[in-house]
């Protein structure tokens, strides 16, 4: 099956894992997935010894499917996170231009409508308020007000095309703001499922590793296949660093 098929096949079981049981990865996901795949192949020749020590062999055989589900969950979370982060980046780049456009338009409208109390009052009302959503609404309100009352603007040689720019900018910024904020909930949900999928795989990996380390406790060559190479290397690097440290007592 494909990773997507594995994900769909296991999604109900994955999402049933309780929050208090869910764990977050303590190493890069791609590294953990490779270690899980390596463990699956490593343990195949030891089936008799492992099952003889009480291992449910279905746990070992499930590793590739659970790994596929985690790969897909990781990809879905990455997609959601990237979409939000890209929207946030674009918002930071484009929103200052939106604020500047709104301020320039308000400046022109105040002058153009200075002798029309009703129109000037509407401009004042638009200018009230603050915040990103208010700025976006202001741009749209300005576009509508200006197009309905063009003559005073034309008398001051106002660039009428700016009203269309205000409307399109409002639409664009509204979409960006939505992606940069409301997607947070979707992104968090994708993250939770990724962690649940990791937990589901870890449950099988830990069972196989624990049994393998028990069975091969006096066989270093076989036992090493039932531990994490990532953490073995990390411990070795830390030990080397400690020995070479100028402040070391050794």
**Helices assigned H by DSSP within the chain:** 3-15, 29-43, 47-52, 57-112, 117-127, 132-148, 150-155, 161-181, 183-215, 220-223, 229-244
User: Which tens digits make up the pLDDT trace of 82-133?
Assistant: 777 888 889 999 999 999 999 999 999 999 999 999 999 999 999 999 999 9
pLDDT of residue 185: 56
* 188 φ, ψ (degrees, to nearest 5): -65, -40
pLDDT of residue 248: 45
**Close Cβ partners of 101 (under 8 Å, ≥ 6 residues apart):** 139, 162, 165, 166, 169
| Joined tokens for residue 7 | 């994900």
What's the gap between Cα 243 and its chain centre?
39
Contact 176, 87 (CB under 8 A): yes
What percent of the chain is modeled with pLDDT above 70?
94
Q: End-to-end distance of the chain based on CA atoms, in angstroms?
A: 53
| Domain ranges, ordered by start, for the chain | 88-183
- Residue pLDDT, tens place only, 171-229: 999 988 887 876 555 558 889 999 999 999 999 999 999 999 999 999 999 999 999 99
Cα angle: 191, vertex 194, 195; to 5 degrees? 90
């Amino acid at each position: 099956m494909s990773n997507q098929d594995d994900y769909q096949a296991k999604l109900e079981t994955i999402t049933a894992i309780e929050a208090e049981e869910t764990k977050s990865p303590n190493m890069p996901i791609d590294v953990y997935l490779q270690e899980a795949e390596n463990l699956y192949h490593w343990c195949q020749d030891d089936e008799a010894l492992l099952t003889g020590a009480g291992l449910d062999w279905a746990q070992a055989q499930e590793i590739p499917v659970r790994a596929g589900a985690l790969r897909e969950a990781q990809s879905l979370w990455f997609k959601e996170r990237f979409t939000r982060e890209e929207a946030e980046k674009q918002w930071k780049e484009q929103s200052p231009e939106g604020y500047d456009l709104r301020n320039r338009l308000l400046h022109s409208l105040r002058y153009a409508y200075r002798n029309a109390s009703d129109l000037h009052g509407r401009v004042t009302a638009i200018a009230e308020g603050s915040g990103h959503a208010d700025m976006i609404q202001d741009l749209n309100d300005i576009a509508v007000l200006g197009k309905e009352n063009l003559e005073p603007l034309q008398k001051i040689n106002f660039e009428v095309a700016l009203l269309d720019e205000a409307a399109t900018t409002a639409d664009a910024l509204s979409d960006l703001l939505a992606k940069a904020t409301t997607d947070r909930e979707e992104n968090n949900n994708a993250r939770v499922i990724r962690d649940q999928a990791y937990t589901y795989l870890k449950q099988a990996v830990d069972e196989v590793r624990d049994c393998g380390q028990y069975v091969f406790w006096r066989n270093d060559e076989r036992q090493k296949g039932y531990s994490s190479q990532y953490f073995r290397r990390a411990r070795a690097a830390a030990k080397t660093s400690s020995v070479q440290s100028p402040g070391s007592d050794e």
